[in-house]
Amino acid sequence: MMFWYAHGMNGWGWFGMSVSMVAFWALIITALVLVFRAVNRPNEHTHTPAAPTPQQILGARFARGEIDEEEYRRRLSALDVGPLTKA
């Protein structure tokens, strides 16, 4: 019993010290995890999908039934030829 009250600390003092030590280490571990996750996070701008090509847009419209096969082939051949130039 002599060591229990050493330095004027009673049971509540030991309890408070234990809780504060657990809280301190939880704070340190949480900070380390957050820093690790922030450093290893991939850049949001590198994973943006590329814009669809005109051929892909045309194919999607044909697949949805917005245009018929004749219009699809006509527009696809126009895309393959390229822009028209005036002479």
Q: Each residue of 11-22: pLDDT tens digit?
A: 777 788 899 999
List, in order, residues 6 or more apart from 31 with CB less than 8 Å away: none
pTM of the model: 0.41
More confident of the two residues 8 and 71:
71
CA–CA gap between residue 45 and residue 36 (Å, rounded):
20
Residue 41 has a pLDDT of 80
Dihedral sign (CA 44, 45, 47, 50): positive
9 pLDDT band, cuts 50/70/90, is low
More confident of the two residues 39 and 29:
29
